[in-house]
Amino acid sequence: MRHTALAVATLVTALGTTFAAHAQGATVGVAPSTDMPVTQQVEVDAHGGIVDDQRPAFRDYVVTERIPSYTVSQRIVVGAVLADEGVTLYDVPQRFGATPYRYTVVNGETVLIEPRTRRIMQVID
């Protein structure tokens, strides 16, 4: 009888641990809610930049944040690479889309930068 009780306790413990681990695994990586109305969903353009209709709001955000404008001697065009030092990059808020880029203001123009290469990906005009 004693061995039977021990075997049952061991089996219950093993099954309980398996179910607990399975339950925890089921909650990892839960997708964010998609209950947001379509009019409030944000998106990025095909290249990860800010879409046209969100650019005015993004420019207003940058002005409100009082991001300093850095002065560089090079032309500010898509594809140009900024120097590593002297220019601070800032995170783009989620409300403007999930983008891998950062932003800054250079020569009075707001630009999206690929942080690893520091290449200008979009000029927000």
Q: Architecture of 38-124 per CATH?
A: Roll (3.10)
Strand ranges, E, within the chain: 69-70, 90-91, 102-106, 109-114, 119-124
- CA dihedral (43, 50, 62, 79) positive or negative: positive
Give me the residue spans of the domains in the chain: 1-30, 38-124
pTM of model > 0.95: no
pLDDT in tens, 40-88: 333 444 456 888 888 899 999 999 999 999 999 989 999 999 988 888 9
- Cα 26 to chain center, whole Å? 24
What are phi and psi for residue 114, nearest 5 degrees? -80, 115
- Cα 97 to chain center, whole Å? 8
According to the model, what pLDDT value does residue 99 have?
A: 86
How far from 85 is each of 8, 95, 106, 114, CA to CA, in Å? 66, 28, 13, 15
Q: Which residue has 């695994």 as its token pair?
A: 25
